């Protein structure tokens, strides 16, 4: 259809089949066949020909198609040029900060695919707790941050990109496994926590406070992996992202208890409030938002 439209444009502009054929390097029978295909497709007469086809007139339908064909061809050429230069346009260095849950359990697979799509873009990744990532974005040490927990909205541009369900994680032989969850049973337990400034610690504190739970003890670790290993080795229980425990639940080493919609949170991307995002940042945001569609 595209080549046939190009042929029709040439015929209209040259008002002659022979000259049009020469201009686009086709035989005259091929030009005639292209016009016939278009007329059959649209169901209208496009060109009135004399018996000897030495003189042609463009019909009103033909004039309309000519204008539309010019727009279509122009749009296709623009799109082709943009796509052919797309990877070259996305270049330079993108500095990404991520909180631990995202950096350890979401980002590696995502960046593997992203870097294959944009090989000319260099990536620098800094993994830290939510408070530290926010501070680095504020100081413009990073181009974009991916965080869990509450976003200080007055300080950043931000939006959500992925749903995260917080769960109560216990070692597989814990007495609470398989039993109805009650607040009384969670009293006087040893709890495993992330460090201050972590979005995960924020949700653990929220859970304990909202339910008036008094821990027997709180043991603090600086990474999700350490928290998870502590739970597996029967040191205590915790509130943590389901993304962190997913593989261990499959192997039966950890059991999760779902806490409900109240403890569903969203991962967010944040940007400095007073900057215009680069093309690389816009593409990165577009791709990372696709994660939520794949997890629906």
Rounded distance between C-alpha atoms, residue 138 and residue 270, angstroms: 10
Residue 52's pLDDT is 60
Residue 44 DSSP label: S
In the chain the beta strands, taken as DSSP E runs, fall at 47-49, 56-58, 92-98, 121-127, 144-147, 156-171, 190-194, 217-221, 238-241, 254-258, 264-272
The verdict on 230 and 200 lying in the same domain is: yes
Residue 295's pLDDT is 58
pLDDT confidence bin for 296, thresholds 50/70/90: very low
Grouping H, G, I as helix, E, B as strand and the rest as coil, residue 79 is helix
Number of domains in the chain: 3
The verdict on 157 and 239 lying in the same domain is: no
Contacts of residue 220, defined as CB under 8 A and 6 or more positions apart, other chains included, come to 193, 194, 195
The verdict on 256 and 169 lying in the same domain is: yes
Ramachandran category for residue 197: left, alpha or beta (phi over 0 → left; psi -120 to 50 → alpha): left
Does the predicted model carry a pTM greater than 0.85? no
pLDDT confidence bin for 93, thresholds 50/70/90: very high
The verdict on 225 and 97 lying in the same domain is: no
Ramachandran category for residue 209: left, alpha or beta (phi over 0 → left; psi -120 to 50 → alpha): alpha
CATH number at residue 209: 3.40.190.10
The verdict on 217 and 198 lying in the same domain is: yes
The verdict on 188 and 278 lying in the same domain is: no
Residue 19 belongs to what domain range? 2-84
pLDDT, tens only, 201-255: 988 998 999 999 999 999 999 999 999 999 999 999 999 999 999 999 999 999 9
């Amino acid at each position: 259809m595209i080549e046939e439209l190009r042929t029709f444009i040439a015929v209209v502009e040259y008002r002659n089949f022979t000259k049009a054929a020469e201009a686009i390097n086709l035989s005259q029978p091929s030009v005639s066949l292209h016009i016939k295909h278009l007329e059959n497709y649209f169901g209208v007469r496009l060109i009135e020909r004399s018996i000897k086809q030495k003189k042609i007139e463009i019909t009103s339908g033909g004039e309309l198609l000519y204008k539309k064909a010019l727009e279509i061809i122009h749009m296709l050429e623009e799109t082709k040029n943009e796509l052919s230069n797309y990877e070259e346009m996305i270049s330079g260095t993108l500095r990404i900060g991520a909180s631990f849950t995202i950096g350890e359990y979401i980002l590696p697979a995502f960046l593997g695919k992203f870097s294959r799509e944009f090989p000319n873009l260099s990536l620098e990744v800094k993994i830290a707790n939510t408070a530290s990532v926010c501070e680095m974005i504020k100081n413009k040490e990073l181009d974009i941050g991916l965080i869990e927990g509450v976003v200080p909205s007055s300080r950043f541009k931000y939006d959500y990109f992925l749903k995260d369900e917080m769960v109560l994680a216990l070692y597989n032989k814990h007495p609470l496994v398989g039993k109805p969850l009650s607040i009384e049973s969670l009293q006087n337990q040893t709890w495993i926590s992330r460090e201050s400034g972590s979005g995960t610690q924020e949700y653990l504190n929220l859970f304990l406070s909202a339910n008036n739970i008094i821990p027997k003890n709180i043991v603090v670790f600086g990474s999700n992996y350490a928290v998870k290993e502590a739970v597996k080795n029967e040191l205590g229980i915790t509130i943590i992202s389901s993304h962190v425990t997913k593989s261990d639940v499959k192997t039966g080493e950890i059991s999760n208890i779902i806490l409900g919609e109240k403890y569903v949170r969203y991962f967010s991307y944040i940007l400095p409030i007073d900057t215009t995002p680069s093309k690389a940042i816009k593409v990165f945001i577009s791709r990372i938002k696709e994660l939520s569609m794949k997890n629906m």
